[in-house]
A = this chain, B = another copy of it.
Amino acid sequence: MPERNPGAILDLQREARIGLTEAVLCEHKSVEQIANILHQLRERTTPGLLTRLDADKLARLPEALRGELDFEELSRTAFFTAPLRPKQGAPVAIVSGGTSDAPVCLEAARTLEFHGVGAVLFQDVGITGLWRLLERIDEIRRFPVVIAAAGMEGALFSVLGGLVGSPIIAVPTSVGYGVSRGGQLSLNAALSSCAPGVLTVNIDNGYGAACAALRFLNSRMR
């Protein structure tokens, strides 16, 4: 076999450089690779955030490591040892069209929590029953940052963008079927929104939406 450098090289300076921790995206990694990374984190006593961790992979991790993980199943996230910072306030609103978007909303919420930032969830305010959104819109307007998750045709982004002046970070979700299968339609709806200045991240990327919100909150505090 060829010469190899030993294991993963973590970007531990990222926190200092841009204020965000490198998350461990578990989806394409083997159980061995994940365990290897957790060992490295433990050696340096660095907390870690794991995303897209299947319950199945979790079960196959060595028991000692598993015991140190705070796992949340719906979002498939885990905190390794303690989160980065104690929680302060809840400056982020997370708004979603339907209950099927819950996993993505929670991935965002957990990422914020890991960085010490709270959030309030506004679920099931899809625009087919417009009254549900209008009833809560004044409350939502008060948040300095709004994360909005929606699948299907993603009309929520445009309605929200016309009613709220805060930065809006759209997270298209892969909820849908037929021509909206996979989230591309909802993504394009966010990008083409008639409402000016709606911003977007990748499909199902609750982690990325949270990181963007953190960039804004960090910039705000400077």
Residues on A lying within 8 angstroms of B by beta carbon are 1-5, 7-9, 11, 13-14, 17-20, 22-23, 25, 27-30, 33, 37, 52, 72, 74, 90, 94, 97-100, 102, 106, 109-110, 112-113, 118-132, 144-145, 151-155, 157-159, 161-169, 174-180, 183-185, 187-205, 207-216, 218-220, 222
Contact = CB atoms under 8 A, between A and B. Distances in A.
A196 B20 contact: yes
A198 B194 contact: no
B155 A159 contact: yes
A2 B129 contact: no
Q: How many copies does the complex hold?
A: 8
Contacts of A119: 2-3
- SS of A interface (majority): mixed
Contacts of A98: 8, 194
Nearest to A216: B167
Contacts of A195: 128
A209 B126 CA distance: 21
Contact of A188 (B118, B179, B215, B222): B179
Contacts of A126: 194
Nearest to A142: B222
B178 A197 contact: no
A166 B132 contact: no
Contact of A191 (B25, B72, B113, B179): B179
